[in-house]
């Protein structure tokens, strides 16, 4: 008896070959990109996006602020990131997200958010906060979905076109 869970999508040899070629290119670029990125930042890790593309996550810290950045290994590193998350230490218990920027709908924001939450846990930081401002209003539904997916409480004042996010892992 065949279970619905055992049915797999069948791929042609051509599709499999193309996937393997793309993976080989990404791994080669990953190696080259890591060498270049390590010259200017701390490499935090290697991860995959929702579409299984390999990315390098790296960070730069200054005083009470830091930036997590991400580079997609489908492209050679030329000094630019594909997505970045800027945050600051508000106090011993709080990280505050200043901004998330870069390409959208690639899964980059989720990769960066997961690394931010991991950093908070490692440093025993209880809260991650952020502000939603008027410039976010045209995509507030997408932002709400994103933050709720990452276990943030989201509050938004539609009259004032502002709001806040709070993550508490305790």
- The 3-state secondary structure of the chain reads CCCHHHCCCCCCHHHHHHHHHHHHHHHHHHHHHHHHHHCCCEEEEEEECCCCCEEEEEEEEECCEEEEEEEECCCCCCCCCCEEEEEEEEECCEEEEEEEEECCCCCHHHHHHHHHHHHHHHCCCCEEEEEECHHHHHHHHHHHHHHHHCCCEEEEECCCCEEEEEEECC
Q: Could you tell me the pTM of the whole model?
A: 0.86
Q: In which band, very low, low, confident or very high, does the pLDDT at 1 lie, cut at 50, 70 and 90? A: very low
pLDDT tens figures, 5-44 = 555 568 889 988 988 888 899 899 999 999 999 999 999 9
Residue 98: pLDDT above 70?
Answer: yes
Does CATH place domain 12-168 in 1.10.10.60? Answer: no
| Lowest model confidence (mean pLDDT) among 2-11, 66-75, 153-162 | 2-11
């Amino acid at each position: 008896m065949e279970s619905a869970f055992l049915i797999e999508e069948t791929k042609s040899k051509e599709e499999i070959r193309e996937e393997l070629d793309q993976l080989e290119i990404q791994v080669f670029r990953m190696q080259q990109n890591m060498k270049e990125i390590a010259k200017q930042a701390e490499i935090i890790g290697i991860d995959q996006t929702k579409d299984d593309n390999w990315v390098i996550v790296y960070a730069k810290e200054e005083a009470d602020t830091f930036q997590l950045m991400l580079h997609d290994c489908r492209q050679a590193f030329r000094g630019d990131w594909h997505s970045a998350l800027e945050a600051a230490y508000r106090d011993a218990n709080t990280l505050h997200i200043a901004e998330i920027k870069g390409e959208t709908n690639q899964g980059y924001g989720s990769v960066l958010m997961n690394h931010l939450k991991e950093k908070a846990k490692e440093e025993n930081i209880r809260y991650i906060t952020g502000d939603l401002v008027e410039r976010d209003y045209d995509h507030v539904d997408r932002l709400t979905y994103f933050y709720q997916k990452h276990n943030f409480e989201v509050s938004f004042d539609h009259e004032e076109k502002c709001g806040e996010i709070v993550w508490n892992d305790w």
